[in-house]
Amino acid sequence: MPELPEVEVVRSGLAPAVTGAMIAGVTVLDERALTRHPGPAAGFEARLTGRTVQAAGRRGKFLWLALEPEGDTSAPATEAVVGHLGMSGQLLLRPAGAAPERHERIRLDIHHPVHGELAIVFADQRTFGSLAIDELIPTPDAAPGGHGWGEASVPRQVSHIARDPLDPAFSDTRLRSLLARKDSAIKRVLLDQTVVSGVGNIYADEALWAARIHPETPAKALSTRAVNRLLAEIRAVLEKALAEGGTSFDAQYVNVNGQAGYFAHSLNAYGRTGQPCPRCGRPIVRVSFMNRSSHYCPRCQRMRMPRPLRAA
């Protein structure tokens, strides 16, 4: 289940191999991997072949390979290959001509001036992930579009997604004011990528546990102090997971070399139903919530309403 740390591990693993590399060949094995690409697979292959990759960027759970403009290579990039790993997508770096991966959907054969011939394989069991060629459009705040991408542009398909909490241009103020207006449960709001990006079910549960906030607390009921604590814990859990190479449960998430991360050993709430809370010892509870699971400690994460709401 790739969230920000897992996607960043993929991006940073890909970056040295793809930056400056020429896409020599494109093979689409399954068109479902192009659901977000406008137009047929043949067009995807034709438009990418011969292009050079300028950089590998990421915002939240989306990543993209910016393409050097054809002709004037000093001009700013106007197009990118946007990728989302969905539930089970993998981007793997393989030697040229490597045997097909299980669930391989798309292969890019690349030629790098230093590293030579390589293959980038997009494999995806559940086919929620996709690649697409997309236009790069200016960022409204004129800050760089994402991590690893210094230009003030972002793929159109990513432009409605909020910056992620590790982005230097992330606005804490904007988040506080959005939360103050939302009646929805804080967990639901954390999963809304237009509010804050990069957080999925695992890290939402972990950050709420660390901040001692009940997942069903209405967002607007959180005090400023609680919101600040939550934001700090979101950043802490994302950074820790990143340092450990991401979380893996079922070998669906792996880095570009096919290796799993170690963060699963560090989880305090997610997936620990019935096991003691590391803080207080009470068993972690699992509840079904918006077609997902929420895991929390019923003692440490009690619902607290401020006076104005309790009166109603």
Partner DNA sequence: ACACTGCCCTGAAGGC
Partner DNA sequence: TGCCTTCAGGGCAGTG
Query: Which residues belong to the active site?
Result: 2-3, 61, 292
Out of 191, 238, 256, 260, which residue is the one contacting DNA (CB under 7 A)? 191
Judged by CB under 7 A, which of 200, 215, 246, 261 binds DNA? 200
Whether residue 55 contacts residue 80, with contact meaning beta carbons closer than 8 Å, is answered with no
Find the length of the chain. 312
User: What's the rounded Cα separation, in Å, for the pair 171 and 155?
Assistant: 20
- Window contacting DNA (CB under 7 A); options: 65-73, 137-145, 180-188, 223-231: 180-188
The amino acid present at 58, given as its one-letter code, is R
Pick one of 42, 46, 243, 290: the residue that binds DNA (CB under 7 A).
290
C-alpha to C-alpha distance for 261 and 245, rounded to whole angstroms: 4
Does 61 engage in binding with DNA (CB under 7 A)? yes
Query: Across the strands, what pairs with 56?
Result: 65
Tell me whether residue 62 or residue 149 sits nearer to DNA (CB atom): 62
The 121-150 site mask, x for binding DNA (CB under 7 A), equals ----xxxx----------------------
Confirm if 34 and 131 have CB atoms less than 8 A apart: yes
Binding mask 229-268 for DNA (x = CB under 7 A): ---------------------x------------------
d(Cα 93, Cα 90) in Å, to the nearest integer? 10
The secondary element (H helix, E strand) that includes residue 14 is helix 4-18
6: its two tokens: 């897992």
- Give the interface with DNA as residue ranges (CB under 7 A): 1, 3, 32, 36, 60-62, 84, 86-87, 103, 125-128, 157, 160, 181-185, 188, 191, 193, 200-202, 250, 286, 288, 290-293
